[in-house]
Structure 1
Amino acid sequence: MSQLDAAINPARLNSKRTQAQFKLHPEDFVVTERLDVADDGEGEHQWLWIRKRGANTQFVARQLARFADTSPKNVSYAGLKDRNAVTEQWFSVQLPGQETLDWQQLNNEEFQVLKVIRRQKKLKLGLHEANQFKIRLRDVADKGLFEQNWNSLVTDGTLNYFGPQRFGHDQNNLTRGFEWLRAGGSNKRVKKPEQSRLLSSVRSFLFNQIASSRYQQYGFETLAGDCVMLSGSQSVFHVEQWDDELKQRLTTGDIQLTAGQPGWVSKPLISGEAEQFETDCVSPWADIIDCLASKKVKASRRAMRLKPTDPELCWDGSDAVIYFELPKGSFATACISELIDLSVTENDEDSVE
């Protein structure tokens, strides 16, 4: 397996996984965005709670803009949700000085407006807290192995990988991202709306490479110079040397190990052994990282481990129906890949985030 393939289909905690049918129907993958909002009763932002089936988030946003006769820039959402699924999420449309529109006129087989409220502020990207999942895996071949892996996932979690959806059909986003950056990253060659997707794909690949290599070499053991993340606020801090108190906080889940998404760094967040390890991991792509830095794409940290909350497993004949919640920005496929052999070939939508 090449280094490219290894980062796109990286190491798993469970080496043996059973077979099952995944996403045979949109109803097999149900996602509900968790975001608590209150109705201000007034304001220029009309917020819509929408259920969609077989449609991606950006498509729905365009339909809302067209109906309201406004620019797509005035339509906002907290995160992208899968196309081949049934999902519920918030959208907001900025319409100064207008009465609440009759949004139900838009209802169709692909999406329905379930609720409308007025607010003073727009919906910002990443504002949601989490995503709740109900997933049906059909015709599970080995129930015993599935339950064993499920229990492992609930107890130990998995690696917080970016899913293969992020890299596009046949890794096209990733390939184009590499080519574009190695050609100098010109704004003329790739339009700005597409740049974000290509940069995200490249940095996601590098994170997967670091996280996979570190787990294979060290598991979830600590390294001097680590950067850790507070589980609640997701703020990060540098650990020059680990002491017993910090290790206990790691054990209880108060803090988490992180891996890097390389880019421009104003103040390094890792040092020593951890820094050397990550540098060695991504050395084959040093030229790419230099390009990211030259474009002032800020380096960031992402939690290495992903543990689903509120997990539940139910059997419906040979079908496993699983429920869990993940923090925003995490991929359900990272969890599913610990349970069954999973090959994502569709470009569903870059993620559920």
Structure 2
Amino acid sequence: MKLIYPLNVKNEFVFNSSPRDFTVEEIPLYEFTGEGEHLVLKVRKKEMTTWEMLDAVSGHVGIRRRDIGYAGLKDKHAMTIQYISLPAKFEEKLSSFSHEKIKILDTTRHNNKIRVGHLKGNRFEIRLKKVLGVQKDKLDSVLKWIKQNGVPNYFGNQRFGTNGNNWEDGKKLLDGTLKMRDRKTREFLMGSYQSYLFNKWLIKRMELNLLLEKFTEAETEQVMGLPEGSLKGVGKQPGFYKLLEGDLMMHYPYGRLFEVEDLETEAERFATKDIAPTGLIPGSKTKRAGGLAGYFEQMFDEEMKLFGARRYAWIQVTEVKKRYIEEKAHYELSFVLPKGSYATNVLDVLRGEAL
């Protein structure tokens, strides 16, 4: 049976990125030991960035912000729960900490400082409003598709600033046409440009996937200007996202990087969620795809004096739960995404706007 990506299913609903309608909770990478020289805080915040929360805590106990460990940055416009760590000798000072936008929910000891990336993923709870009966049925259908297949792993709007053009300053910094002293801001803007290039590449691969849903391999080759026969057998793969010769895969949800050798075999493994394709975050010391996959990647690859990386192009949405409150026309969702992924990717697929 042909698998149809639900991009043509347009759903209308209202989503407000606010603490009332949007909750994010970190899932720690490991269990905390209960002993050690570091104190781990489970912190709930709202209407403030992670940096602002760290400044409030560090200012109260009298340490530098960089002395506090954290696993990831959390959205300002949500109710977020995350874990931070600081030297345990400041535990007594914390007992008098009070802030209208921050609440310390729990504390425990641990052997080491929490580092960036030390989390399995994030649990999201989202409330969609003005969802009437027919829209509810459509959302149910698309959500079922998402549970079975996953979603594209775009970088979210948070990476690109209020006006969506942070990447332009990042490009200028890399080109040398813009100077900036603040190191953290400079790194963020240049990372925004890397994220922009990744998203542009993923859009191109999504165009290929969508064409193969509607046209033959030969017709798709013509539309995209690809060599004759280069897509042979690709359209028959079981999933929506099609693997190409030379694609670099990783075991999922984390693991070793390797190149596709047999498309049919690896497509079956991808369908069982054992592995997933990756895309390039351009930079140095990063492996590039080969073959036809490399052709697509080269369109959005640039030399830059920054470390690059490989990022999952396609992710799975797990622990999906839903609840429809008919009298309020609210559709409530709960799901888990791997670290570094954005809830907006799920919302965009639900709207039918994920390209």
Q: TM-score, normalised by structure 2?
A: 0.82
Give the aligned partner of residue 250 of structure 1.
270
Give the aligned partner of residue 246 of structure 2.
225
Paired amino acid for 1:302: R
Contact 2:276/2:314, CA 8 A, preserved across alignment: yes
Pair 1:331–1:99, CA change in 2 (3 A): closer
Alignment partner of 1:37 is 2:46:
no
Aligned partners of 2:98 and 2:353: how far apart in 1? 34
Structure with more contact order per residue of length (Cα contacts < 8 Å, sep ≥ 6): 1
Contact 2:160/2:166, CA 8 A, preserved across alignment: yes
Describe the SS at the equivalent of 1:148.
helix
* Per-residue deviation, 1:320: 0.4
Would you say how many aligned residue pairs link Structure 1 and Structure 2?
315
* Per-residue deviation, 1:244: 4.2
Show the 5 A alignment for 1:1-353. Answer: 13-23=6-16, 25-35=18-28, 36-43=30-37, 45-94=38-87, 98=89, 100-141=91-132, 142-183=135-176, 189-218=180-209, 220-239=241-260, 241-242=261-262, 244-265=264-285, 268-280=287-299, 282=300, 289-290=302-303, 292=304, 295=305, 297-317=306-326, 318-340=329-351
Describe the SS at the equivalent of 2:124.
strand
Contact 1:104/1:113, CA 8 A, preserved across alignment: no
Describe the SS at the equivalent of 1:31.
strand
Contact 2:204/2:296, CA 8 A, preserved across alignment: no
Give the aligned partner of residue 5 of structure 1.
none
Aligned partners of 1:221 and 1:341: how far apart in 2? 19
CA deviation vs aligned residue, 1:314-338 (integer Å, no higher than 9, x gap)? 1012110001000000000000111
* Per-residue deviation, 1:342: 7.8
Unpaired stretches in structure 2, ≥5 consecutive residues: 210-239
CA deviation vs aligned residue, 1:95-150 (integer Å, no higher than 9, x gap)? 6xx35224242233201111122222100000011111111111124222222222
Contact 2:17/2:78, CA 8 A, preserved across alignment: no
Paired amino acid for 2:59: R
* Per-residue deviation, 1:306: 1.9
User: Which deviates more, 196-205 or 140-149?
Assistant: 140-149
Pair 1:302–1:61, CA change in 2 (3 A): same
Pair 1:195–1:330, CA change in 2 (3 A): same
Unpaired stretches in structure 1, ≥5 consecutive residues: 1-11, 344-353
Contact 1:226/1:271, CA 8 A, preserved across alignment: yes
* Per-residue deviation, 1:38: 2.2
Aligned partners of 1:134 and 1:332: how far apart in 2? 9
* Per-residue deviation, 1:47: 1.3
Contact 1:158/1:305, CA 8 A, preserved across alignment: yes
Paired amino acid for 1:253: K
User: Which deviates more, 227-236 or 58-67?
Assistant: 227-236
Aligned partners of 1:320 and 1:131: how far apart in 2? 20
Aligned partners of 1:82 and 1:172: how far apart in 2? 18
Aligned partners of 1:165 and 1:83: how far apart in 2? 10
Paired amino acid for 1:311: V
Aligned partners of 1:177 and 1:25: how far apart in 2? 28
User: Which deviates more, 149-158 or 220-229?
Assistant: 149-158
* Per-residue deviation, 1:243: 5.0
* Per-residue deviation, 1:182: 2.1
* Per-residue deviation, 1:37: 2.6
Contact 2:13/2:128, CA 8 A, preserved across alignment: yes
